[in-house]
Chain A
């Protein structure tokens, strides 16, 4: 997302061995400058692209100019279109040695299709994001925990991998995604509102805020494509989130939470978490007295 997947974010993330899917709106020159200044980050970032021709050409030029970048993130709203499957094949043919992340989908058969078409890691999640309105605008979606469990099963059977993308609101959710079998967990909202995010800090009534929006929201469409096309509805919202300071603190909080989860279930490594995970269905997440 253009607010979260920034170069500034990548610098901090890579210090903790975390990964950044850099948004697709940086220019080639931005990339070259970043690569020169922060060569140590490059193994922990991906170049993103939609399925359009312009996106593909720009991504190709970036990957040529910065060969240290080994990851490609192919991202469309609807990973179920045949057009996208063809696009994944095309990118695989052109970049045989890059690791391709592709999505989003929510069901096992489509995970398999994309892996067999050349993707390595499948992004799982339709509509769970905090600024995503796909579910209210279209009624389409899939509960994220079940999607992760089912898609992980399909992917692992083919020695593929998945990313749980969206729906995490707290470190506990990240732990649940890993527990459900996700190999990676992608975060948007939880990383929003930090110093490293794009956009200015807004001050209002003594409160500091930052803008955060979905990539199909009015805000994003106006910014990048000049508006919402007539035949479509915006499928994202725009919110002002409280400014949370440096992302470093949030990262430590998430990693600390995950470590704690692992000790609770007796997993010495993250790898063991899903094998040690037994989920209990509940009717209440936490005591609501003071929330």
Chain B
């Protein structure tokens, strides 16, 4: 029976954070480092909980090298070979604690993941990533991986509702990736996962189509406004001592701050980290302008590259775009971290941990003064 959920659901663009009394004198006093103890793996994490997405244009070893210097995290994409992993591990042993190895639910993916984790025991994180985290098949897969790797921290997704967060945590995942379709380019679909297509969906989501370039929402009409998804999923996860990653939908440092404010333990970034020296993807020069190619992981581009083309029964659910070349990612990282520090001083949070407790969102109709926005 079709049902319309009339509860208002919001995106990052619909809110601003209300400033609050603060005893901080400077942004430099803000501590962005967080420590977590994971529910199922019993492992500890310490670092700045921002993650480069496991897209082959963003989750690269080059990115990981820079991000680990800032104690940020990288979900390395699943298309590196075992040899490449070994080489990276030998050359950059210090980075390994800030990395996850990724896998879809396909058996070849999983075999490679096993080989990587066996060869490089310092990698303690696994990122299990499918477009539709609602499939029973995926839940079974998470259980299998938990059995096979009892002491690795498992990130799994993507989902957008509390009951599925709980299901995945109870099935052995530690950190749940939250977000369906908020990205500029949907990136969570592994080309090899044919099995999810026929699997029963636990819920269909009647959604507002937001006019973003995210094509899962356009192609399927499925999705959930990210701010509301994060708030609801964080609540569900924290109740079970689990954690969540807000994955996708951030277009500026302010959005990252809002995700943390909404209760995300980690924030995963794709588009914001694309287009840098350290990003994968072709470098293009045209009319004196420099671009880098950036594409969603179920775009035609990615599917051609890794699965030999788009299968007949499916549509491509990602876009390929040329993003202006932004130089070294280091500057972007400083800009993001500086922005979040500033947010923390505005709401009086001396530590990132306090940000969500100090957060009151105000609903707005306009984010910024649009007068000069063309030039920015």
Contacts from A to B (Cβ < 8 Å): 77-78, 80-83, 105-107, 110, 113, 126-143, 166-167, 169, 189, 228-235, 237, 239-241
The docked-state distance in angstroms from the alpha carbon of A275 to that of B21 is 31
B343 at the A/B interface (Cβ < 8 Å)? yes
Size class of the B contact interface (CB-based, 8 Å): 35 or more
**If the complex has contacts A130-B371, A231-B28, A233-B253, are A143 and B343 also in contact, measured as CB distance less than 8 A?**
no
Q: Which residues of A contact B335 (CB under 8 A)?
A: 137, 233-234
Residue of B346, B347, B366, B372 near A143 (CB, 8 A) is B366
- Give chain B interface residues in 346-376, CB to chain A under 8 Å: 346-348, 362, 364-369, 371-372, 375-376
CB <8 Å contact, B25 and A105 = no
B42 at the A/B interface (Cβ < 8 Å)? no
B302 at the A/B interface (Cβ < 8 Å)? no
CB <8 Å contact, B19 and A130 = no
B339 at the A/B interface (Cβ < 8 Å)? yes
Query: In the complex, what's the smallest C-beta–C-beta distance from A68 to chain B, in angstroms?
Result: 34
CB <8 Å contact, A81 and B254 = no
Q: Which residue of A lies closest to B30 (CB)?
A: A231
Q: Which residue of B lies closest to A169 (CB)?
A: B371
Q: Which residues of A contact B337 (CB under 8 A)?
A: 231, 233
CB <8 Å contact, B347 and A237 = no
CB <8 Å contact, A232 and B25 = no
29 contacts between A and B (CB under 8 A): A78-B19, A105-B19, A106-B18, A107-B18, A110-B21, A113-B21, A126-B346, A133-B376, A134-B342, A136-B367, A138-B343, A138-B346, A139-B12, A139-B15, A140-B16, A141-B17, A141-B364, A141-B367, A143-B364, A143-B365, A169-B371, A231-B28, A232-B28, A232-B341, A233-B253, A233-B338, A235-B342, A237-B376, A241-B372
**If the complex has contacts A81-B24, A110-B21, A230-B334, are A132 and B342 also in contact, measured as CB distance less than 8 A?**
no
Find the residue from B15, B18, B24, B346 having the highest chain A CB count within 10 A. Answer: B346
Q: Which residues of A contact B12 (CB under 8 A)?
A: 139
Q: Which residues of A contact B311 (CB under 8 A)?
A: none
The docked-state distance in angstroms from the alpha carbon of A105 to that of B20 is 9
Residue of A130, A228, A231 near B372 (CB, 8 A) is A130
Query: In the complex, what's the smallest C-beta–C-beta distance from A220 to chain B, in angstroms?
Result: 15
Residue of A80, A166, A239 near B375 (CB, 8 A) is A239
Binds A, one of B73-81, B94-102, B239-247, B255-263: B255-263
- Give chain B interface residues in 1-53, CB to chain A under 8 Å: 12, 15-25, 27-28
The docked-state distance in angstroms from the alpha carbon of A147 to that of B337 is 28
Q: Which residues of A contact B18 (CB under 8 A)?
A: 106-107, 140, 142
- Give chain B interface residues in 211-265, CB to chain A under 8 Å: 252-258, 261
